[in-house]
């Protein structure tokens, strides 16, 4: 078993990437507790991971007060929690979030606040047990505000800053906090997007994320080639950025 990980909680387990992660962790001999919104999909993901799954819980994460109770439920089922993946997310219609505050609010609630609702009890648990690894899937969209997706990007960017703080807070407690800055992946989230060579596949991404839990940088681009690409994108002066329509267009 890698790094002494026995008991793993997967939040947002019905995401295409988390479903692959569940199978990956099961193959590594880990016991799993899966939390997701859709009970039917959850059973399907649990079925694919087999006997490794000791329990599941269904919840809509917009109901923010449930975070602490769901973590307690997972801890009771697993006995203890060694590692956590947080994988849910919502890519909204950007223009809808510009017309409707409710749409923008939902994007922030799902992508940022609901994650915080889980991270608070998990960080306190890991701090008290002086071990644990917390892996959260963010996005390259959080690196720079772009007209195409800045509401989603702002939520993911805020999340990266939040996790940076948690990471430093818990460093002396032996707790590993990993931010995954994920590039485009061919999943239901990007169903309507035109695919190009930069799109990754969920199975390959899940394998890389599982490895990132144990080794390497704790703030990492997946796939790796997004690191130099985003360095360039972040470094462009605003006036130049706005002239480059492939970056700053819709
Ligand atoms: N695909 C990409 O190109 C890409 C790029 C960068 C980052 N990411 C991030 O990668 C992670 C995994 O996404 P994915 O690509 O695997 O997409 P996905 O298959 O569409 O999964 C999204 C997941 O979020 C869950 N979710 C959305 N709203 C929720 C809510 N209110 N309550 C509970 N769960 C909710 C969905 O639940 P249901 O199953 O019930 O719908 C689904 O499990 C997300 O954090 C996403 O932001 C994805």
Ligand 1 test: best mutation among 86, 187, 223, most atoms within 8 Å of CB?
A: 187
Q: What is the pLDDT of residue 2?
A: 47
For residue 59 the two structure tokens come to 């919840």
Mean pLDDT of the chain: 97
Q: Which residues pair with 221 in a beta bridge?
A: 181
Q: What is the pLDDT of residues 19-53, one digit of tens each?
A: 999 999 999 999 999 999 999 999 999 999 999 99
Measured CA to CA, the distance from residue 156 to residue 164 in angstroms comes to 12
For residue 225 the two structure tokens come to 């080639």
Are 218 and 177 in contact by the 8 Å Cβ rule? The answer is yes
Expressed in angstroms and rounded, the spacing between residue 220 Cα and the centre of ligand 1 is 19
Q: How confident is the model at residue 3 (pLDDT cuts 50, 70, 90)?
A: low
Q: Return the number of other C-beta atoms located less than 10 Å from residue 200's C-beta.
A: 19
Q: What is the pLDDT of residue 183?
A: 98
Three-state SS annotation for the chain: CHHHCCEEEEECCCCHHHHHHHHHHHHCCCEEEEEECCHHHHHHHHHHHHHHEEEEEECCCCCHHHHHHHHHHHHHHHCCCCEEEECCCCCCCHHHHHHCHHHHHHHHHHHHHHHHHHHHHHHHHHHHHCCCEEEEEEEHHHHCCCCCCHHHHHHHHHHHHHHHHHHHHHHHHCCEEEEEEECCECCHHHCCCCCCCCCECHHHHHHHHHHHHHCCCCEEEECCCHHHHHHHHHHCCHHHHHHCHHHHCC
Ligand 1 test: best mutation among 64, 88, 109, 146, most atoms within 8 Å of CB?
A: 88
Say whether pLDDT at 189 is over 80: yes
Q: What is the mean pLDDT of residues 166-173?
A: 98
Give me the CATH number covering residue 74.
Answer: 3.40.50.720
Number of domains making up the chain: 1
Q: What is the mean pLDDT of residues 193-199?
A: 94
Q: Which residues line ligand 1 (CB under 6 A)?
A: 12, 14-17, 36-38, 41, 60-62, 87-90, 110, 137, 139, 182, 184-185, 187-190
Residue 72 belongs to domain spanning: 2-248
Q: What is the pLDDT of residue 1?
A: 44
Q: What is the pLDDT of residues 45-54, one digit of tens each?
A: 999 999 999 9
């Amino acid at each position: 078993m890698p790094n002494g990980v026995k008991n793993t909680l997967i939040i947002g387990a019905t995401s295409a990437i988390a479903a692959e992660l569940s199978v990956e962790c099961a193959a590594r001999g880990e016991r799993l507790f899966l939390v997701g919104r859709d009970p039917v999909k959850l059973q399907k993901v649990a079925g694919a991971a087999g006997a490794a799954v000791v329990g599941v819980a269904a919840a809509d994460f917009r109901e923010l007060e449930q975070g602490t109770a769901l973590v307690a439920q997972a801890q009771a089922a697993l006995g203890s929690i060694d590692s956590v993946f947080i994988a849910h997310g919502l890519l909204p219609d950007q223009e809808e979030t510009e017309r409707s505050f409710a749409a923008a609010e939902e994007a922030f609630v799902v992508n940022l606040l609901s994650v915080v609702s889980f991270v608070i009890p998990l960080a306190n648990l890991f701090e008290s047990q002086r071990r644990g690894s917390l892996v959260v899937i963010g996005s390259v969209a959080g690196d720079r505000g772009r007209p195409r997706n800045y509401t989603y990007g702002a939520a993911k960017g805020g999340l990266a800053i939040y996790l940076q703080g948690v990471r430093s807070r818990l460093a002396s407690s032996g707790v590993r906090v990993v931010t995954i800055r994920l590039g485009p992946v061919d999943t239901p989230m990007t169903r309507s997007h035109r695919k190009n060579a930069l799109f990754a596949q969920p199975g390959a991404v899940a394998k890389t994320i599982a490895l990132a839990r144990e080794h390497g940088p704790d703030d990492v681009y997946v796939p790796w080639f997004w690191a130099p690409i985003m360095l360039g994108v972040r470094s462009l002066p605003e006036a130049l950025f706005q002239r480059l329509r492939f970056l700053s267009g819709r």
